[in-house]
Structure 1
Amino acid sequence: MVKAMLIAGFGGFIGTIFRFLISRYVQLSVVSTFPWGTFLVNIAGSFLIGVFFGISEKGQFMTAEWRLFLTVGLCGGFTTFSSFSNDALLLLENNEIFRFVTYAGLSFLLGLLAVFLGRLLIKVM
C-alpha cells in the first residue's frame, strides 16, 4: 500500500508541476477572460489518460505500477477532470446511461454548488 501511494504521489507531483507550467504559459500567452489554460489542460489530460488506459488494455505493454503512476498519479495531478472523463466513459461503455447522466450531472452541479458555498462561507465569516 505504501509503495502504491508513493508511486501515485510521485506521478501526482510531476502532473501538478506540468499543469501549473502549461496553464500559466497559456494564460500569459493568450489575452482572454476565457480560462484557456485550464481548458487545454483538462482536454490534454483526458486525451493522455485515454492513451495510457488504451496502452494498458492492449496487453503486457505496461506494468500495474506504470499504469498507477501514469493514470492516477500523473494524469490525476495534471487534472482530475481526466479521471472524471474516464469514469464517465466507462459508465457509457457499460451502457449504464442513468448512472452516467447522474454521475456527470451531479458532479458538475454539486461541484459548482460546493465551490459557491465554500466561497460564501468565507465571505460571511
Structure 2
Amino acid sequence: MISTFLMVCVFGGLGSVTRFIVNTSVRRWWKGRLFPLATFMINCLAGFCAGIAAAGYASGEVEYATRTLFVVGFLGGFSTFSTLINETMALLRGKQFAMAGLYCLLSLVVPVLCTVAGWLVVNLAH
C-alpha cells in the first residue's frame, strides 16, 4: 500500500511537470489572447487519455495498479480544475463575462466528449 502511495506521488509530480511544460509552451505561442487555451487543451487531452485508460481497464487490458498510477497519479497532476476556476474568475474580474461563460461551458463539455472519444478509440480498435 505504501509503495502504491509513493508511486502515485511520483506520477502526480510527473503529471504536474508535464502540465507546466505544456502550459508554458502553449502560453508562449498563444500570448495575449483572451481565451485560456493552455488549460483547456490540457484538460481535453487529460479527458481523452482518461477515456483510453478507462476503456483499457474495462476490457481487462490494463491492470488496476497501472490505471491508478496513470489516472490518479499522472492525469491527476496533469489536469487542473482549480486553474480553470482561477482563469474563469480572472475573466470575470476583467468583466469578460461572455468569454468566462464560454470558457466554463466549453471546459465542462469538451473534456467529457474527449473522454468519450478516448473510450471509443479503444473500443472501435477491437
Give the shorter-chain TM-score range: 0.5 to 0.7
**Aligned partners of 1:7 and 1:65 also within 8 Å:** no
Match of 1:73 in 2: 73
Question: Which stretches in structure 2 are left out of the alignment for 5+ residues?
Answer: 91-126
**Aligned partners of 2:15 and 2:76 also within 8 Å:** yes
SS in 1 for 2:47: helix
Q: Distance in 2 between matches of 1:75 and 1:48?
A: 8
Aligned AA (2:5): M
Q: Distance in 2 between matches of 1:47 and 1:67?
A: 14
Based on CA coordinates, which of the two structures has the bigger radius of gyration?
Answer: 1
The aligned runs of 1:1-125 (5 Å cut-off) are 1-31=1-31, 32-59=33-60, 61-81=61-81
TM score, norm. by length of structure 2: 0.60
TM score, norm. by length of structure 1: 0.61
Question: Which stretches in structure 1 are left out of the alignment for 5+ residues?
Answer: 82-107, 117-125
Aligned-pair identity in percent equals 27
Q: CA deviation at 1:67?
A: 0.9
| Cα deviations by residue, 1:52-79 (Å, 9 ceiling, x for unpaired) | 11111111x2222211111100110001
Structure 1 runs (4+) deviating above 3 angstroms are none
CA RMSD of aligned residues (A): 2.2
Q: CA deviation at 1:33?
A: 2.1
Aligned AA (1:28): R
Equivalenced residue count is: 85
